[in-house]
Amino acid sequence: MTTLTSPPGGAAIRHPAPPATTGRTGTPRQGGTILAIPALVWYAVFMIGPVIAIFVIAALHWPGMLQPVSFAGLGNVRTVLDDPVFWDAVRNTAVQLAVALPIMIVCAYMLGYYVAQKPPGHRVIRYLLFIPGLISTPAKAMVFYAALSPDGLANGALQSVGLGSLTDAWLASPSTALACLIALDVWSGIGFTAVLFAARLDSVPDDLGEAAQLDGAGHWRTMWRIHFPVIRDYVGVVTMLQFLWTLFGSAQHVLLLTQGGPGSSSTTLSFLVYQKAFIAADLGYSQTVGVILFLAGLVGLLAIRRAFRQNY
């Protein structure tokens, strides 16, 4: 992205002879590209290499680190597709995305809009909203572990308001384990996303909202009909990010909080990749799911991009 810092007229005065300028600096610029090589090599060795390796390993039959490796072709795909646990993981991941994404984006947009209007106390809110973005995954998981344990915060709160009958072992119950993971995503995701939206909304000219309100539009209308279309592209970008974070990032929360259980009730696709590689030691299977996850990410990105491009 290039930014025009001076008007065309001013630039013309400062460069009386533009062709000479380009000619003079042409040589050192060419030589300079070499400086990008170390970064590129580093990046290729540690990032691109391993990503390509996922596809190779996915085509191998490799039942454990020290086991003989043989070529499996599409054999792993068949094994994976025949495994009911894989389909549980697909279902859990789908539920997770279908619930967490819309809640997160809609709430974060409204919250961001609220903060961008600078109501009383908006500085405090801004400070607070960032907190989940700063806390590491293990720390977040520990917060939820302590809050949702049988003697924890959630049950304590329920008991103190006389709803003791609703208490549960939240993380250990098949019906609530996945919901807890989704709650963790939403809890920590809304605040951070809201600040992103607030930052973008800050740069929308004030006149736009004021003009709409003079024309008799209420806040609700201004928020969704005026501001939303203006930053629609940005909402798309943030949705894509959250989609990727949710899709790929859930493994850590699952590992720390529920280990995918009870049964496979909270196994997500990304946790399955981890679990098959490092616990079950079925490496071909693991990386096949990795490839599927990769493709799901790609398809999802394209779909979200399309959804936010149309009607624009």
Q: Taking CB under 8 A as the criterion, which residues in 275-294 touch another protein?
A: 277-278, 283, 286-287, 290, 293-294
Distance CA 6, CA 43 (A): 36
Pick the closest to residue 144 from 183, 112, 106, 115 (CA basis): 183
Minimum distance of another protein from residue 10's CB (angstroms): 12
Q: Please name which of 77, 71, 67 lies closest in space to residue 290, comparing C-alpha atoms.
A: 77
133-141 LR contacts (CB < 8 Å, sep 24+): 133/188, 133/191, 133/192, 133/195, 135/188, 137/249, 137/252, 137/253, 137/256, 138/252, 138/256, 140/184, 140/188, 140/253, 141/184, 141/252, 141/253, 141/256, 141/257
Q: Does 46 bind another protein (CB under 8 A)?
A: yes
Q: Which stretch binds another protein (CB under 8 A): 71-79, 82-90, 170-178, 238-246?
A: 238-246
Q: Is 234 exposed, middle or buried (0-12, 13-18, 19+ CB in 10 A)?
A: middle
Residue nearer to another protein on the CB measure, 124 or 311: 124
60 in helix, strand or coil? strand
Least distance (Å) between residue 290 CB and another protein: 4
Segment lying near another protein (by CB under 8 A), choices 32-40, 79-87, 96-104, 169-177: 32-40
Is residue 36 involved in binding another protein (CB under 8 A)?
A: yes
Quick check: 182 binds another protein (CB under 8 A)? no
The interface region with another protein, picked from 76-84, 91-99, 169-177, 206-214 by CB under 8 A, is 206-214
> Which residue bears the tokens 């590689």?
277
Q: Contact between 63 and another protein (CB under 8 A)?
A: no
Tell me the per-residue interface mask from 114 to 153 with another protein, x by CB under 8 A, - otherwise: xx-x-x----xxxxxxxxxxxxxxxx-xxxxxxx-x-xxx
303 near another protein, judged by CB under 8 A: no
Does the protein bind another protein through residue 226 (CB under 8 A)?
Answer: no
Closer residue to another protein (CB): 90 or 241: 241
Using CB under 8 A as the binding rule, whether residue 304 contacts another protein is answered as no
Between residue 87 and residue 106, which ones bind another protein under the rule CB under 8 A? none
CA angle 255, 182, 221 (to 5 degrees): 150
# residues contacting another protein (CB under 8 A)? 108
Torsion of CA 293, 305, 195, 209, to 10 degrees: -160
List 8, 30, 162, 165, residue binding another protein (CB under 8 A) = 30
- Candidates 219, 225, 232, 306: give the one binding another protein (CB under 8 A): 219
